Amino acid sequence: MHFAFSAEEEAFRQEFSDFLRKHATPAILQEAESGLGWGPHTWELVRKLGVRGWLTPTWPREYGGLGLDPVYRFIIHEELDYSGALPEGASMVGAGMVGPTLMLYGTEEQKDQYLLRIARGEIEFALGYTEPEAGSDLAGLEIWAQEAGDHYIMSGQKLYNTRCHYAHYHWLAARTESGKPKHRGISLFIVDLQSPGISIRPLWTLGGMRTNEVFYDNVSVPRQNLVGKKNRGFYYILAALEFERVFSVGGLRRMFEELAAYVRESPFLRSDPLTWQRLAQLHVEIEIARLFAYRLAWLQTSRTAATHEAAALKLFASELWQRLAASAAEILGLAAQLKGGAKGAPLGGKVERLCRECLVQTFAAGSSEIMRGIIATRGMRLPRDSGQV
């Protein structure tokens, strides 16, 4: 079997990586490392990508896309991930999830109002799913949206809603009916994050990234901001999660290459057999992850749902980040604990940061246990009602 990108795809990759070399400036990388989300320099890059149609390469031209195959979206993700220019990976909520969902279920008015602005990089959305009592089991969410004439009045709390402090809109899942089964009473809304009654409090992860608690206190949301049909939101969320499952291992590869280059330059480490063992093992695992990612990209060009294959990649790559961090810390020894800016910190303190940052990978966007559940039930056809831990 021969895996290869076509000549056109390779030419596109070259054009895109040349663009990033020129435009992913140190100021943008600094914003990415700050953990604060998109700052002014990142927004500028996002708009430049938008002008070229590179935020939404697979979208139809009428909505600001380029009408290309999903493999081009994958190439863009991989290069952005490798460059380290956009925090939270290259997965954007507006371009990656909201837009495709609106194209399927949104009103014409909603498509007119949001799609072109998303494609041009003028607006971004924050995912509003998780709550204190609803994470893996999202159907348990409780934030309440009460119909009141031509508005809904919303009250309740969200947790870990990451982009709310710099996004314009909340892609909010709220309860609109209290009956059973609980997943049938959920609706999806677009909420302006500047609406009176919304307050946003920062939560800092161990890795230094900002996420948020968001409180709704009698927030009034126009009825026309309901997405699709009332009480069908859970199904739209499942559809949108399919769109979210675009993963690359560009960032992993970049970190590993930097570690290997450091070892090659080190007079002691370069000839240490134990270091060779660790690096060789990582090399093999990163190649496996890369093949998983390429296969997933290929599957997504031939069919829309690749759920268990995406879960396998998410599971393997997120746990590999942690193995990479552990091996890098062992190879570099005590110096790996030095922070960026400290005298003598190897790799600019990246390993110290990585050891803190990598923890979140195995539960954000779905925990490893949930990924294994998807692989068992969707990939291996084991019955859903048994085997749940």
Ligand X SMILES: Cc1cc2nc3c(=O)[nH]c(=O)nc-3n(C[C@H](O)[C@H](O)[C@H](O)COP(=O)(O)OP(=O)(O)OC[C@H]3O[C@@H](n4cnc5c(N)ncnc54)[C@H](O)[C@@H]3O)c2cc1C
Residue numbers of the site for ligand X (CB under 6 A)?
127-130, 135-136, 160-162, 205, 209, 211, 360, 363-367, 369-370, 373, 388-389
Closer by beta carbon to ligand X, 54 or else 160: 160
Q: CA angle 283-307-365, nearest 5°?
A: 70
Confirm whether 244 is a catalytic residue. yes
Distance CA 142, CA 248 (A): 33
Distance CA 247, CA 307 (A): 12
Query: 10 Å Cβ neighbour count for 343?
Result: 5
Give the CA distances from residue 199 to residues 107, 127, 183, 213, in Å, rounded to whole numbers and listed in that order: 28, 16, 26, 8
Distance CA 384, CA 376 (A): 9
Give the CA distances from residue 362 to residues 108, 118, 252, in Å, rounded to whole numbers and listed in that order: 38, 29, 14
Query: 10 Å Cβ neighbour count for 8?
Result: 10
Contact 96, 244 (CB under 8 A): yes
Closer by beta carbon to ligand X, 72 or else 243: 243
Report which residue's Cβ sits closest to ligand X.
135
Query: Min. distance of Cβ 170 from ligand X in angstroms?
Result: 10
Distance CA 175, CA 185 (A): 6
DSSP 95: I
Closer by beta carbon to ligand X, 27 or else 370: 370
Query: Min. distance of Cβ 311 from ligand X in angstroms?
Result: 13
Q: Which of 31, 78, 131, 244 is catalytic?
A: 244
Hey, which residues are catalytic here?
244
